[in-house]
Structure 1
Amino acid sequence: MRTLKIAVIGLFIIALNLLAPLQTGHAAVEVKQLYQARVAVTSQATSERNEALRTALTNTLLKVSGDDAVLEHESVQLALQNVRNFVVQYGYQQAADELLLWVQFDQPQIDRVIQQADSGVWSSRRPELLFWVVAEDENLQRQILGGGEDWPVINELRKAAQTRGLPVKLPLLDLNDSMSISVVDLWARFEDRITFASSRYDADGVVVARLYQADSAITSDEWMLDWTLELGGMRWRGEVSAMQPELLGGMLVADVTQQLSQRFRIGTNADMAGTWRIKVNDLSQFMDVLRAEKLLLELPSVNRVQLMQYGEHEAEFELYIQTDPAQIMQAIDLSRTFIPINPERRSEFEMPVYRWSQS
């Protein structure tokens, strides 16, 4: 009888997942308005505007590079002292019950100062991450924090993700989730259960974060959060601490963003400037060729893209680049639009081949 009951529950879980809304596969969301920022202000006074412009530039540099270290560089400090040189346009917007200063910055100048700070530009195509957050309170009671309730740590997570240009999803914590995964599964990081429960959200990567009271022998802060990220077979982990638990939401996003951008941002290297070629298959119509060319041109450190030949649904492109081709390949690999055909054999001496996919 017990075996039958377990089997019925298992079939019920499968049925719930099959009934979940179907979503088309994707990888890497295109983040819009990378070079724009909005900062809350209380008035349109000049002194407050100047301070808000500096905050907007700081946030934009972090969003474009994903690199906290750029803020310490001399070139960035100089830019923050002369912020108006980077502003293309600004204005005020009324949103709900707050006044916002909206700023559009000059993209070439922003990119240039980031390169001068020995960092790089993170492409606008970024992985969308699903965040599972489990919090343990002072009584050692654990709870999954979803996006449907007003949790301060989740609110800070969302705010930081918007500021940093990181696409995020949060679990619904509905009946489907409750039947698919438990607090124990997440706290123990049972990979099979997490993968199963996460599949309905169609995210590119999954973050599992655990929030708990800190050990005084480890840190003077009162709260800690450790996290793991799995993205396309790659794994990262880290931990942050703070005196108030709600602060850990923003710190989590900053830490994850720092790790991701370190791998995927592209720096300019004049010594490596030159041309580099790739092939793309399954381009069934010429409009697909134009779309592929546009996507390649949007990659950082790609100055120009030229179609060299096209026939039998295959195109060969020549890219004029200012960085290591390996960094360009990392950026391309984030998108399922270009599926690598020969990833295990790729080298600097072999032209990479991709399959075009619009799924």
Structure 2
Amino acid sequence: MSLIARLLVMCCMSLLSLASLAAPVNGLYQVREAVLGQQAVEREQVLRQALDTLVMRLSGDPAALENPAVIALREKPQRLISQYAYDGNMLVVDFDPATSMQALRDAGLPLWGADRPAVLVWWLNESARGSLLVGDTQESSALLRRAAQHRGLPVRVPLADLSEQWVGTPSALSGKNLSALRDASARYAADVLLTVYARQARGSQWQAHWRLWHGEQLLQGQVAGANPAVLNDAVLLAVQQALAPLFVVRPGGEEVLTLVVSNVDLPRYAELERLLEPFAPRLLRADGKVLTYRLKASAEQLRAQLALARLQELPAAAVQGDGVMEARASVLRFH
């Protein structure tokens, strides 16, 4: 069977049974921004703001907004927009994925693909009315989900049932001992753990201390917001900027690598294509359940990306001959 024929079979079968462990972001290229009216001047301003949001989603780098090529794109963002429409007081802007990605690549920006680590959020609000752990079915979770969508992050929210209320305490969320939280988090199968302890300060002002655990690595910070909606967006923006450097592909920092993935079943093929998209992969060979790719990436970023799908790296000593004639340092093998 030819390579093209094999790929067609794999694509068709993957549509029937796709069990992805990574979390693709739906609507990554659709941005919703608030507007006061539909005047042309304000619309142009909001379109530029929508482009800024997209640039941050795809790069995670605030410095990207100062890139001369991005500044030029902001003058006529319509070149990247396929359509936009009003939805109440929101302007919904759909950017063309291929055109947008290519324009940002040409600008030399670091880029982050659509498959991103699933973030389990333990969020505790404390106000004069008491403490409340945000749960999946509570109204307060809607603010969190909107902020996550705005910042391009896939989030999961715990049920916050009675047993979890005992776990999600201020001391647990702000302490270094995560054993109880990790145990309670196991059933949600997330890639990273985010804890947020938010307190209402004077008036309507809110402050939050967030802690992000990626494996044993801890990233943390503090943000403030004029109201809960602004606070949610500020926290998710900070988390976006903290996670992005672990996964974005920075031009010039990559090398040409050969990736060999064994034991690839049909449902895994489409997932693998999404995961590798930021690295401009080229499939060299499909030999049974073994796929061989050529791509540009740093080895560590490629490892981080493949970890989202729970792929395991094969140690060099365990590798049997697979016909890949490359310097061992430039070949990574996973199964």
TM-score (norm 1): 0.72
SS of the residue corresponding to residue 340 of structure 1 reads coil
2:307 is aligned with 1:333: yes
Count the aligned residue pairs: 310
Distance 1:223 1:343 in 2: 51
| Bigger mean CA offset, 254-263 vs 167-176 | 167-176
Superposed CA deviations along residues 136-157 of structure 1, whole A, max 9, x for unmatched, are 3359x54423343344xx5543
CA contact (8 A) 1:70 1:117 kept: no
Structure 1: unaligned runs, 5 residues or longer:
1-23
* 1:91 Cα deviation from its structure 2 partner: 3.9
2:219 is aligned with 1:229: no
* 1:181 Cα deviation from its structure 2 partner: 5.0
| Bigger mean CA offset, 175-184 vs 344-353 | 344-353
Match in the other structure for 2:240: 257
* 1:349 Cα deviation from its structure 2 partner: 0.6
1:125 to 115, 119, 130: 115
Q: Which protein has greater RCO, CA pairs closer than 8 Å, 6+ apart?
A: 2
1:92 to 78, 85, 90: 85
Q: 1:305 to 1:236 in 2, by over 3 A?
A: same
Superposed CA deviations along residues 20-60 of structure 1, whole A, max 9, x for unmatched, are xxxx9964211133223233446554334323322221221
Q: 1:32 to 1:242 in 2, by over 3 A?
A: closer
* 1:123 Cα deviation from its structure 2 partner: 1.4
Higher alpha-carbon Rg: 1
CA contact (8 A) 1:132 1:144 kept: yes
Q: 1:163 to 1:353 in 2, by over 3 A?
A: same
For residues 304-319 of structure 1, what are the structure 2 equivalents within 5 Å?
304-307=282-285, 310-311=287-288, 313=289, 315-319=290-294
Q: 1:181 to 1:344 in 2, by over 3 A?
A: farther
SS of the residue corresponding to residue 150 of structure 2 reads helix
For residues 177-188 of structure 1, what are the structure 2 equivalents within 5 Å?
177-178=164-165, 181-188=168-175
For residues 224-303 of structure 1, what are the structure 2 equivalents within 5 Å?
224-244=207-227, 246-269=229-252, 272=254, 274=256, 276-283=257-264, 287=266, 290-291=269-270, 294-295=273-274, 298-303=276-281
* 1:348 Cα deviation from its structure 2 partner: 7.2
SS of the residue corresponding to residue 329 of structure 2 reads coil
CA contact (8 A) 1:342 1:352 kept: no
Distance 1:343 1:131 in 2: 37
Match in the other structure for 2:49: 55
2:26 is aligned with 1:32: yes
Q: 1:84 to 1:148 in 2, by over 3 A?
A: same
Superposed CA deviations along residues 149-184 of structure 1, whole A, max 9, x for unmatched, are 344xx5543322111110112222223423655454
Amino acid at match of 1:130: L
* 1:251 Cα deviation from its structure 2 partner: 1.0
SS of the residue corresponding to residue 349 of structure 1 reads helix
CA contact (8 A) 2:191 2:308 kept: no
Match in the other structure for 2:4: none
CA contact (8 A) 2:191 2:214 kept: yes
Amino acid at match of 2:220: R
Match in the other structure for 2:179: 192
Match in the other structure for 2:68: 74
Distance 1:200 1:343 in 2: 33
Distance 1:231 1:198 in 2: 13
| Bigger mean CA offset, 343-352 vs 251-260 | 343-352
2:94 is aligned with 1:104: yes
TM-score (norm 2): 0.77
Distance 2:148 2:268 in 1: 33
